[in-house]
Structures are given as structure tokens and as C-alpha cells.
Structure 1
Amino acid sequence: MKRDLDLIRNMLLLIEAHDKPSSMSSNDFKNLNPDVNVIDYHLYLLADSGYIDYMDVNTIGHFYPQIRVNWMTSSGCDYLDAVRSASIWKTTKNKLSEIGGQASLDVVKTVAEHFALSALGI
């Protein structure tokens, strides 16, 4: 399955908007993508990259790991802060399209931070 950078950004925005620390399951993200496998895979990617604090709740019959999100980590907050602005995100995605539209999350964050610094005149 291909990583969806828009979905990752939107999932982090949803986690941040959650009122209190709690366990968010894949059901809490269905409005972003109705395919539970896509959501589960991207939750796994967020956990694997250290962007969320989570619990494994694997169940039989699921292809991807089942994860319950507790909250976003400092690394997750840093990534989200880099890609939060809609205009910075659009510019970042346009730049990434020059290399095929995909890059590591670290590269995406660095590109977004570059555009943010440029917007600040730094």
C-alpha cells in the first residue's frame, strides 16, 4: 500500500483536535477514508515513525496491526507544525511533485520548514 501524505497530515490534525487524551481507534478516522485497512496502515506508519503514543490491540481477522492512539508525541507535533498551514502544505506538495510526489516524512517536514522559513523572510 502506498503512503498517503495527505491522510497522514489529516490524521494528525484530527488527533490534535481531540479534546482529551484517550484511545482513538481506526473508527475515529473513517471520515478521512472509509477503508479500515488504509486507516490501520497509516496509524501503523504514525506509530512506527514515533509520531503517536499508542497501544497495540491486534485482533483476529485484520490484515494490518490494530492501534489505539493515546496522543501525539513531540515528534508528531513537530511534523504537524511543519505541515499545518494549508498554503505551506500546498507549496510543499507542489515541490514534491517534481520528484514524483513522495518522500520520507523527514524530507517532507524539511521541505515544509524551508517554505515556512521563506514565508517568514528567514
Structure 2
Amino acid sequence: MRSFGACSSNRKSLNRRILLKRDNDLIRSLLLEIEAHDDAIFLCVLTDGSPDDERRSYYHLKLLVDAGMLEERGKFGGSFRMTNYGHDFIEAIRSESIWNDVKGVVATVGGATLGIMADIAKTCITAEINKHLGVGS
């Protein structure tokens, strides 16, 4: 098991402020890192001295659990496994150009859920496949 830093959760550290707005680029980066990880379990445990960037990453890992893309394991948490839906999502947004297209559409409409972002990515991929196959030309 590889540790993703040391992340913290006592009252003192909970009073520190971190940006709680979802960062879709960070979510993509975390999923790519977890997928590239050499173990099925990705470990991220907070400690008292965890820096804000690790606390922010941990928060986003928990958002991915909420979205069904990761599953948190273990009695005390902090151990994460990517679900099939998480693998499907990262496969859909792996391409930098597709990811940028998705972000462009989302910016145009003012925001979207991760599920909608996955749908947009699938639509972009389908369009690319059709273009390569000469379908709809």
C-alpha cells in the first residue's frame, strides 16, 4: 500500500480553512493518480500537521466517494478503491482534448455534476469515433 501523504482530522485542524469548492481538475488528477497506483488500495490518512493541499485532496477523495467513483475501505477510513464507475469516468476524460472540451461545455452552461460531465465526455468520444469511421459525414 502506498501512502498519499499524511492527511489530519482533529478539532484544531478542522478549524483551519480550506477551499471547499469542488475542483474538477483536481478530481481528474486524483483519479489518474489512483489508476496509475501500483496497488488496488490508495491510502490517504490525515494527521495533525497535514498541509492544506493534502487536506484539500482528502476532501476531494471524499467527494469521489459521494459520487460513487471511489469506495472508502477500512474501519477508520482513509483507504480508497476505485469503483467501476470511477474507471469508466477516467476512461471517458483521459484525453486532454476531450477533458478541455468537457470543461468548455460546462463553463458555457455554468456548471455540471460529475455524472453530466461523464455524459458530455461520452458524447465527445462518440463524435470522435464517428469522425474516424466516417459516420454522419
Normalised-by-shorter TM-score class: 0.7 to 0.9
Which residue matches 2:118? 109
Give the Cα separation in 2 of the matches to 1:118 and 1:23: 34
Which residue matches 1:73? 83
Runs of 4+ that moved beyond 2 A: 55-58
Alignment of 1:16 with 2:35, yes or no, is yes
Distance 1:23 1:95, change over 3 A: closer
CA apart distance, 1:41:
1.2
After superposition, the C-alpha distances for 1:53-107 in whole angstroms (9 at most, x for unaligned) are 222666xxxxxxx6321x211010111111111110011111111012x210110
Structure 2 unaligned segments of length 5 or more: list them. 1-19
Structure 1 unaligned segments of length 5 or more: list them. 28-32, 59-65
Letter paired with 2:70: I
SS of the residue corresponding to residue 120 of structure 1 reads: helix
Counterpart contact for 1:51–1:77, Cα < 8 Å: yes
Judge which range, 35-44 or 1-10, deviates more.
35-44
CA apart distance, 1:17:
0.2
Percent of matched pairs sharing the same residue: 34
Give the Cα separation in 2 of the matches to 1:56 and 1:41: 17
Query: What is the number of equivalent residue pairs in this alignment?
Result: 108
Give the Cα separation in 1 of the matches to 2:95 and 2:123: 13
2:108 to 81, 98, 101: 98
Alignment of 1:52 with 2:70, yes or no, is yes
Distance 1:108 1:26, change over 3 A: farther
Give the Cα separation in 2 of the matches to 1:26 and 1:11: 15
Larger Rg: 2
Structural RMSD (CA): 2.1
Give the Cα separation in 1 of the matches to 2:112 and 2:78: 24
Give the Cα separation in 2 of the matches to 1:109 and 1:78: 8
SS of the residue corresponding to residue 9 of structure 1 reads: helix
Give the Cα separation in 2 of the matches to 1:10 and 1:119: 23
